[in-house]
A and B are shown apart, each in its own frame.
Chain A
């Protein structure tokens, strides 16, 4: 036995793999070459095609009227998102409630608002007066306190907030519910065993941990919302897109003005993306063995005193 082993080992020639030649990847070279050619073509197009009218882009890029459109877009994003987040929290808590009627109602809401395109919802809210000419607040089936014509109440801005916000609430509800479910039920038990109330347990223990799961999809929801606000141009609300449309309808400089809008949308989404990564760092506290720097520390450029190296005697 030992003899055969020895002979077979001797049969293998001595090899040293140091200095081995790299494997060639000719297809990678071909792909890189094609991409470079395409990029060169794109640059060439951007520079030589006069239809871009870069001087017009430059003129309108920081024009005051465009600025007003951006402000409307941002306002709408913030307000609709706030409506969505608040509504989403309420709906998520409702869907996790022990009350069956509440649970079902919240489920129906989510089903309804996720099932209808947001553009249809916007147009619907805008035309609400055709369905309900007057709206009033008062005791149900009883006396009215305030009433008025729907057209006075539902301005384009209000229709936009309702359409975007109520729709967003349905999506946020699912994101928040998922985050809440991702927190270990043992956390709630520990808080209860310490005598914490349900509200305090939710606020101090469950929600901060759920935020780690809620923030990343919410960040993409904000970016989606920013882009979705462009839909309000159909109900004649002067957001960024509607503003450039109204200009090029007059001047016929369609392409350069659309490029102005594209550049601004890209710029704002980039800023949002950076902001999201800061917020994620904040809620990563305690998630890993290395304590991350907090959001505010990061923002204020404070250097946190390095923790003493925590080496568990025996990690479990």
Chain B
């Protein structure tokens, strides 16, 4: 089991024995992971190791087959009552997702809406925030990712790095307790990776709880509080960036790092 940080506060994410299969393929074979409030956890691992699937289980984009995931003390996707467990209704799942921001590898901005409308859609449409203040906050968030002058542009008029920063602002607009990043820089040209990582680093420094699936070892070393290495559906190794990246104890971690470094 993963080392739980020595605080009294309940963890933001508490995953226990999470299992997931696609048909006959067992993708997650019992993942245990705790993410403390304010912690930045970077998940590394070869492709096919299940790290993206695990991330998508946290906000119930994928339904887990066994085990449990709690976010901020709340069981995700299910309700346990008097010893019986049942699936949550769609609207309850929807409500849980509002507290969890997600950034995708392919950005997935809404191409028919302007940058500002992309950021405003969820706060005004889902949270029913009044339009004026929501708009001001959206512009603040766009300023924070350095794109306020692009607010009237459409996503396809932006570069990949700019689109991903808009996607981050869009997720932040819902004031999430937790942010999930699913390979946020993997679809970017190398020279655009830096601007996105810098934005993410800024969020980490503000104390946002983040789970980041990435291949950017440099980011893990610099920003992560903890690095988790996954392979073949299990957590192989977990610890401080220095211990996992520089002095890996597991041969599978060693093999992976020697390939990517």
Contacts and interface: CB of A to CB of B under 8 A. Distances in A.
Contacts of A187: 108, 110
A291 B154 contact: yes
A288 B157 CA distance: 8
Contact of B126 (A190, A195, A283, A315): A195
A64 interface: no
A190 B162 contact: no
Given A286-B113, A314-B159, A195 B97 contact: yes
Contacts of A198: 90
B191 A314 contact: yes
Interface residues of B, number: 49
A314 B61 CA distance: 32
B100 interface: yes
B170 interface: yes
B188 interface: yes
B95 A195 contact: yes
B147 to A, nearest CB: 11
Contacts, number: 110
B76 interface: no
Interface stretch (A11-19, A124-132, A203-211, A244-252): A203-211
B111 A312 contact: no
Give the interface size bracket for A toward B.
20 to 34
Nearest to B101: A193
B156 A189 contact: no
Contacts of A314: 159, 161, 189, 191-192
Interface string A172-204: 000000000000101101111111111010001
Given A286-B155, A315-B159, 6 more contacts: A190-B110, A190-B167, A192-B97, A289-B156, A291-B154, A291-B157
Interface of B: 59, 61, 90-91, 94-102, 104, 106, 108-114, 121-122, 125-126, 149-150, 152-163, 167, 170-171, 174, 187-189, 191-192
